[in-house]
Amino acid sequence: MAEPGSVWITGAGSGLGRALALRYLAAGANVAGTARRVDTLTDVALAGVGKPGHFHVHPGDLALAGQAEALVAAIERSSGPIRLAVLNAGTHRPSPAAQFSAATVSDLLEANVMTVAHCLEALLPRMLARGQGQIAVNASLAGYRGLPKAAAYGASKAALINMTESLRLELEPAGIRMRLVNPGFVRTPLTDQNDFPMPFLMDVEQAAERLYQALEHGTAFEIVFPRRFAYILKFLRLLPYVLYFPLVGRATK
């Protein structure tokens, strides 16, 4: 039986967010899904028909100031206190050095970092007042170290890693669990656009199951998948630059 309270998933209209929403519905959870497009959320609701949980459609653009606060208030009015928020909304855009653009950096920081910041601003006062709650921030293994063509995307994900680590130190004693989600390559509409080999590519349903189990039954601060790819990148993160740059340069040539 699902725990009381609601589960809020942003970016729930496609990819990992959609698969995770369906997994929670299968477990009988009360799920609130947010995405910019209503039709994608409606598709999730239809896919969830017959599952023991309930899916509530809450469309909105989290990049707009005030939207997250209005959404959180609406969700808690209709579905009860948010016990778990999975801040998954975000996007990817390559940024090769030859076409480096400040606009691309700004766009990805807005889509990947500021959407999370707006959600946190809306969630934290409520969870702090209750003295409980869990927030999972979806960053990426690409935030560990600089990778080719990822100057903008990697910077946004590195910011999320640092933000979540910082908040964990302050919020854990207050009863709020911060969880950091660092996926590798997961088969989604975004990764389908990649024109390069993706090592250890994971099916989205498998990734959603891994994330669900970690959120509901795990205790680790960081949730990573696929594990083999994560371990490789964790090792690379430890290397000095004199070894890191030649090794990664050859591997990504």
Kindly report, residue by residue over 176-197, the tens digit of the pLDDT. Answer: 999 999 998 887 766 656 655 6
Question: Which among 195, 107, 226, 98 has a CA at the least distance from the CA of 155?
Answer: 107
- What residues make up the domain containing 34? 6-251
pLDDT tens for 233-248 read 999 999 999 999 999 9
Residue 144: pLDDT over 60: yes
The domain tally of the chain equals 1
Give the pairing of strands 30-34 and 6-10.
parallel
27: helix, coil or strand?
coil
Please give the positions annotated as active site.
153
pLDDT tens for 51-70 read 999 999 999 999 998 999 99
Which CATH number fits the domain that encloses residue 13? Answer: 3.40.50.720
- Kindly indicate the confidence band of residue 6, based on its pLDDT and cuts at 50, 70 and 90: very high
- Would residue 143 count as lying in a domain? yes
Q: How far apart are CA 109 and CA 80, in angstroms?
A: 31
- Would residue 41 count as lying in a domain? yes
- Would residue 101 count as lying in a domain? yes
- Would residue 233 count as lying in a domain? yes
pLDDT tens for 202-211 read 899 999 999 9
- Would residue 146 count as lying in a domain? yes
pLDDT at 226: 92
Q: Where are the beta strands (DSSP E) in 14-81?
A: 30-34, 54-57
- Would residue 185 count as lying in a domain? yes
pLDDT tens for 153-173 read 999 999 999 999 999 999 999
Backbone phi, psi, residue 95, to 5° = -140, 70
Q: What is the mean pLDDT of the chain?
A: 94
- Would residue 1 count as lying in a domain? no
- Would residue 31 count as lying in a domain? yes
Please indicate whether residue 181 or residue 94 has the higher confidence score (pLDDT).
181
Report the first-to-last Cα separation within the chain, whole angstroms. 50
Structure tokens at 141: 């293994």
- Kindly indicate the confidence band of residue 200, based on its pLDDT and cuts at 50, 70 and 90: confident
